[in-house]
C-alpha cells in the first residue's frame, strides 16, 4: 500500500476516492482513511454497461483501468453540482484557494468557516518564519544508509529474478519439445489413418490400426494437457516477479512430499534456507526425522494442509517451530512458492508462538513436579529401610 500512496502523492492529496462496488473493498477503505479522504460508494455496484458508457470517451487498456475510471467519474458526477455551487460563492481574493475550500466544505465544514480558516492560515504564514537546519554530515550518513539498504534489496531481488528467468528458459524448452512431439504424433496419426484406408481389407488389420489411433489420440491429449499446465505455470511464475517487491506479502517454499528426500532436494537446489516459511502439501508421510531436519535448517514456521503425525508434531514443538493450519491464512500456491498475506500470517504466527511458550513452561513445571515427587518417594523408601 505504501507504494500506491507514494504514487498518488506525486499528483497531490486526493479529496475523494470512488468505489465501483457496494460494499467497497477493505483495501480502498484503508487507502481513503490513510489520506483522510471521502469514500464515495454507489448505492448499487456499477453494472458493466454503465462502466462502458462512463469511460467511452477515455482510453482504458484493460478492465481494471475501466473499473477505476468509471468509479472516479461516477464519484465526480455525484459531487459535480456541489463543486459548482461552492465555487460560485468563493470571493475573488480567495479564488486561488478554491480547491482547498471545496475540500473543506465537502468534508462538512460550513462555507463561511472555510473562508475564515483560509484567511487565518494566510495571516499566520505572513507572520511566521520558521527555519530548520540539519547537520549536512548527518543527512549524508542517513542517505548513505538508505542507499546501501536499497542496493542490498536490489541484489537479492536480482538473484531471485535471474533464477526464475533460468527456470523460465527451461520451461520454454520443454514447451518446444512437447510441441515438436505433438506435431510428430499428429503426422504419425495422419499416416496411420491413410494406411488404414488403403489396407482396410482384413478385419484384424483394421482392429490393430484402430487401437493404435486410440492410443495415440490419448497420448496427444495427455501431452496437450501437460503443455497447457506448463504454459499456465510459466505465466504464474512471471506474475511472481512484481510480487517480490511488495511489503504486504511473504514468499514461502512448497514441500510437495514431507520426507527426508524431499527436504534434501529443496536444500540441494537452495530453495529452502534458514528463516523460510515452508508449506507441506502432504504432511502425512513425514515423521520425527523429517521434522528434525526442518528444525536443523531453522525454518521459521510450518504450514500444513490436513493432519501431521504425532511424532513429527512433537519434534517441531520441542524446538518451538509453530505449526499453522493453511486454512487460517490468506495464501496462494504458485509453482514451488506459496504467497502469504503478511498481516494474517504475522497475527497467527504470534498466537502460535505464544502458545508454544506457554506449553514449554507447562512441560518444565510438570517435569519439576515429577522430580520432587520421585525425591519424596525415595526419601520415604529410605526412611522405611
Residues 240 and 255 placed together within one structural domain of the fold: no
Predicted confidence at residue 139, as pLDDT, reads: 74
Residues 341 and 287 placed together within one structural domain of the fold: yes
Predicted confidence at residue 189, as pLDDT, reads: 87
CATH number at residue 278: 3.40.140
Predicted confidence at residue 231, as pLDDT, reads: 60
Residue 132 lies in a domain: no
Residues 167 and 83 placed together within one structural domain of the fold: no
Phi and psi at residue 299, to the nearest 5° = -70, 155
Residues 143 and 230 placed together within one structural domain of the fold: yes
Predicted confidence at residue 236, as pLDDT, reads: 58
Residue 16 lies in a domain: yes
Residues 330 and 257 placed together within one structural domain of the fold: yes
Residues 232 and 300 placed together within one structural domain of the fold: no
Residue 132 has pLDDT above 60, yes or no: no
Taking only the tens place, the pLDDT of each residue in 175-215 is 888 888 888 888 888 788 878 887 777 677 667 777 888 87
Whole-number Cα distances in Å, 180 to 173, 186, 227, 232, 286:
11, 10, 11, 19, 40
pLDDT band for position 45 (cuts 50, 70, 90) = very high
Whole-number Cα distances in Å, 20 to 33, 61, 103, 133:
17, 17, 22, 46
Residue 206 lies in a domain: yes
Predicted confidence at residue 129, as pLDDT, reads: 43
- Find where cell 479529496 sits: 15
Domain-terminating residue out of 192, 214, 245:
245
Residue 360 lies in a domain: no
Taking only the tens place, the pLDDT of each residue in 226-235 is 666 556 656 6
Residue 168 has pLDDT above 70, yes or no: yes
Domain-terminating residue out of 202, 221, 245:
245
Taking only the tens place, the pLDDT of each residue in 135-144 is 777 778 878 8
For the chain, give the mean pLDDT.
Answer: 84
Residues 17 and 42 placed together within one structural domain of the fold: yes
Structural domain tally of the chain?
Answer: 3
Whole-number Cα distances in Å, 296 to 183, 253, 276, 299, 337:
49, 16, 12, 8, 21
Residue 240 lies in a domain: yes
Residue 381 lies in a domain: no
Residue 5 lies in a domain: yes
Residues 233 and 258 placed together within one structural domain of the fold: no
Domain-terminating residue out of 71, 89, 107:
89
Residue 116 is placed in which grid cell? 475564515
Residues 149 and 170 placed together within one structural domain of the fold: yes
Residues 298 and 331 placed together within one structural domain of the fold: yes
Predicted confidence at residue 131, as pLDDT, reads: 39
Residues 226 and 254 placed together within one structural domain of the fold: no
Predicted confidence at residue 75, as pLDDT, reads: 92
Residue 379 lies in a domain: no
pLDDT band for position 13 (cuts 50, 70, 90) = confident
- Contacts of residue 58, defined as CB under 8 A and 6 or more positions apart, other chains included, come to 69, 73
Q: Domain limits at 19?
A: 1-89
Taking only the tens place, the pLDDT of each residue in 273-316 is 899 999 998 888 788 899 999 999 999 999 998 888 899 989 99
Taking only the tens place, the pLDDT of each residue in 357-378 is 888 888 777 777 777 777 677 7
Residues 253 and 240 placed together within one structural domain of the fold: no
Residue 107 has pLDDT above 60, yes or no: yes
Amino acid at each position: 500500500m505504501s507504494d500506491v500512496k507514494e504514487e498518488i502523492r506525486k499528483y497531490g492529496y486526493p479529496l475523494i476516492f470512488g468505489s465501483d462496488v457496494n460494499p467497497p473493498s477493505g483495501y480502498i477503505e484503508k487507502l481513503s482513511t490513510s489520506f483522510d479522504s471521502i469514500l464515495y460508494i454507489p448505492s448499487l455496484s456499477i453494472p458493466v454497461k454503465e462502466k462502458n458508457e462512463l469511460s467511452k470517451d477515455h482510453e482504458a487498456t484493460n478492465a481494471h483501468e475501466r473499473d477505476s475510471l468509471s468509479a472516479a467519474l461516477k464519484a465526480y458526477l455525484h459531487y459535480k453540482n456541489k463543486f459548482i455551487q461552492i465555487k460560485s460563492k468563493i470571493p475573488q481574493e480567495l479564488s486561488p484557494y478554491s480547491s482547498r475550500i471545496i475540500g473543506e466544505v465537502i468534508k462538512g465544514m460550513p462555507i463561511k468557516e472555510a473562508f475564515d480558516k483560509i484567511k487565518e492560515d494566510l495571516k499566520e504564514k505572513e507572520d511566521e518564519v520558521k527555519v530548520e537546519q540539519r547537520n549536512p554530515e548527518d543527512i549524508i550518513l542517513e542517505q548513505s544508509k538508505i542507499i546501501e539498504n536499497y542496493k542490498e534489496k536490489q541484489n537479492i531481488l536480482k538473484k531471485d529474478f535471474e533464477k526464475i528467468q533460468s527456470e523460465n528458459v527451461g520451461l520454454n524448452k520443454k514447451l518446444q519439445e512437447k510441441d515438436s512431439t505433438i506435431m510428430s504424433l499428429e503426422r504419425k496419426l495422419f499416416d496411420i489413418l491413410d494406411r488404414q484406408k488403403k489396407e482396410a481389407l482384413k478385419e484384424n488389420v483394421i482392429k490393430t490400426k484402430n487401437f493404435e489411433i486410440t492410443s495415440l489420440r490419448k497420448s496427444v491429449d495427455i501431452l496437450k494437457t501437460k503443455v497447457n499446465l506448463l504454459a499456465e505455470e510459466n505465466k504464474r511464475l512471471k506474475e511472481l516477479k512484481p510480487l517480490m517487491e511488495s511489503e504486504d506479502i511473504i514468499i514461502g517454499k512448497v514441500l510437495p512430499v514431507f520426507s527426508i528426500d524431499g527436504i534434501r532436494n529443496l536444500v540441494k537446489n537452495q530453495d529452502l534456507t534458514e528463516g523460510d516459511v515452508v508449506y507441506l502439501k502432504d504432511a502425512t508421510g513425514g515423521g520425527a526425522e523429517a521434522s528434525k531436519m526442518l528444525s536443523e535448517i531453522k525454518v521459521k514456521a510450518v504450514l500444513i494442509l490436513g493432519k501431521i503425525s504425532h511424532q513429527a508434531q512433537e519434534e517441531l514443538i520441542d524446538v518451538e517451530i509453530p505449526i499453522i493450519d493453511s486454512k487460517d491464512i490468506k495464501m496462494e500456491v504458485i509453482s514451488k512458492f506459496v504467497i502469504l498475506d503478511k498481516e494474517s500470517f504475522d497475527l497467527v504466527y504470534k498466537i502460535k508462538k505464544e502458545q508454544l511458550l506457554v506449553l514449554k513452561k507447562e512441560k518444565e513445571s510438570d517435569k519439576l513436579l515429577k522430580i520432587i515427587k520421585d525425591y519424596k518417594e525415595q526419601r520415604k523408601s529410605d526412611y522405611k529401610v
